[in-house]
Structure 1
Amino acid sequence: MEISGYAWTYGYFQARAKLPNGYDLWPAIWLYPQTNTYGTWAASGEIDIMEYRGQVNNTILGTIQYGAQWPNNAALGSGATAFPHDFSANYHIFGVQWNKTTISWLVDGKPYFSTNINRNMSTGAPYTAFGQPFDKPFFWILNVAVGVGGNFFPTNVYGPQVTPAQASQWAQPNMYVDYVSVSQWQ
């Protein structure tokens, strides 16, 4: 689900969602640049508010992608972070607070990771100022992918790509979204 026509620079972005439960399900709640001002992915940035592996129900990741275009891009984030609840059992609020200097990730209003973006993030990208590429409007994307694509499900850790037989055993293959919201300040 892409929320098109709307994009924001800075603010408090949150989505209340109940995540899927099933082998190789890959839900994500993220922000993507409205334009490729600094180049194609990932030079113009990406803010992953939440990514999750459907077979690890208590663990999420928050990440930014930036720098040179793929495959020479850089990523920085929380890494796999465990929480004391099953994200597929109940709704939780996944969010980021993003301003000119910092991006902070939150679950249910509680911060769990933060990174400074008020620095040179070029790593081969054509940035000319601190904070780039996170100084332009971004829009929401909420999706559920399946499989080992993008190395999010390394085959040496989780096994081969999901089979139809495995998919038929998914306990809950849907991501349920109650709301998304953006609060901005000057």
Structure 2
Amino acid sequence: MRRSIGSSISDLVHARVDGESLSQDELLTMLTQFLIAGNETTTTHITATVMLLLEQPQLMAQVRADLSLAPKLIEESLRVESPITGLYRTALVDTEIAGVAVPAGAHLLLCYSSGNRDPEQYADPETIKFDRSGEGAHLAFGQGPHFCLGSNLSKAESRIALEALLTRTTNLRLDPAGRTPERIPSYILRGVSRLDLLFDRA
């Protein structure tokens, strides 16, 4: 992993666009994105998925019994617990959304988390289901030209972490002496700031 990150940083430092190297501000902005997009969102998603399993033990039992359900659990947890609740976008042209005029240049907060619980798109949207084959794709990674390039890596990391947790531990539970799980105070990032657990070795 260190070699991969170091290589990416080196590539950026040596990159040329129209013969010009990237400015320090451009480099720092990209490196910040690497840190947030490549780490914060995935760890937040893993934690949120573990919370779902603790809140719904029947889900944990199902996935423990059949690890092939892990990718479906990940997709559903991304839908109901999107690590990024939304991002700002700028309207490029005058348009109208649900009868509301949106002029070109207007700044909008697109709430992915709301769209992922839209009852017109998902039957019983608050419920984790492993058989949503006929419904729309969730918006946790965005869509179109803004679709997250790291989506497959993020899902693979989540799957590996969850499979390891479920196969190497038993009696997974909240630590009664630990801190009560608290949501991160943010309207963009959705997650738990700390999750104190106890478990037995499988």
TM-score range, shorter chain: under 0.3
Could you tell me the TM-score, scaled by structure 2's length? 0.26
> Which of the two has greater strand per residue?
1
> Which of the two has greater helix per residue?
2
Could you tell me the TM-score, scaled by structure 1's length? 0.27
Higher CA-based Rg: 2
Higher relative contact order (CA 8 A, sep 6+): 1
